[in-house]
Amino acid sequence: MNIYLPIAEVSVNAFMLLGIGGGIGLLSGLFGVGGGFLITPLLIFVGIPPAVAVATSANQLVASSFSGVLAHWRRKTVDFKMGSVLLAGGLLGSMIGVQLFAFLRALGQVELMVSLSYVVFLGIVGILMLIESIQAMRKIRRGRPLARKRHSWVHGLPLKMRFRQSNLYISAIPPFMIGMAVGVLAAVMGVGGGFIMVPAMIYLLGMATTVVVGTSLFQIMFVTGFTTLAHAVANQTVDAILAVLLLVGGVFGTQIGVRLAPRLRAEQLRVLLAVLVLLVCAKLGLDLVRMPDELFSIGEVSGHG
């Protein structure tokens, strides 16, 4: 069943969009990542213009993140104080990112920039995730515990705060900067930023994995909501019909993911996610270098004189 999207100005199968939203919601519930690093490329693959895909996919992340936060809040695995510091940085970064997006769109370079950004980020994240997951699986097979570094130079910075839910006493500067970087990515690439924030919270801040997922989703929910509103006002690139279809699919997918997460082995899932990320990266990269079917567009120009 095809449905016309007025802002995107294309017709797309509604069930396919529901499936995309559901699949991204499933990843959100399993890993605590917003899933925007996959949903925006997938929307581009099905014919949605990149500018609309970036702005509208952020809206879907609000729904899936909110659904996930509720589930984790019931389990008391959300550090709201840490989430608030991440959120403060995220809102500032989002404002910077929206202005950068508008500037690039005015130059006519936003589509190239979005595609290049995804190729670079997905390539780096996919390779690092694959290496880390394979190493973790090898350690488990050999019976070695998975060690996690608890202290680093980050813990010696000023402006320290106590985060009781995460059992940490660290500077507020690193989480604020992590949040700001994620906010810029949310605005420019239409991502929640969880694929960067979750590893940073574990390996840089030393947070316990039990609270990382819920806290990540808490920050993503508000930052992507603000980003969606800012894009709608500044760039008019949010397609409401597309957003609703993705939102409905995302809510159901997230609840399934949250229920499946405790039953599945994280290392094996991360390998599969890494492979999926690298496949999307490869497809985007090929689209950038592949020769178009038509090198020139010929049209009739009417005029007088």
**pLDDT averages per 10-residue partition of the chain, 305 residues:** 77 84 75 65 80 72 73 82 89 86 76 74 77 76 59 68 82 87 77 69 76 82 78 72 80 76 66 75 75 51 50
Q: Number of structural domains, the chain? A: 1
Q: Does 207 reside within a domain?
A: yes
Q: Does 33 reside within a domain?
A: yes
Range of the domain at 17: 13-288
Angle 36-37-40 from CA coordinates, rounded to 5°: 65
Q: Does 189 reside within a domain?
A: yes
Q: Does 126 reside within a domain?
A: yes
Q: Are 246 and 21 in contact (CB under 8 A)?
A: yes
Q: Are 214 and 221 in contact (CB under 8 A)?
A: no
Q: Does 277 reside within a domain?
A: yes
Predicted pLDDT of residue 192: 62
Q: pTM for this structure?
A: 0.63
Q: Does 150 reside within a domain?
A: yes
Q: Does 147 reside within a domain?
A: yes
Q: Does 297 reside within a domain?
A: no
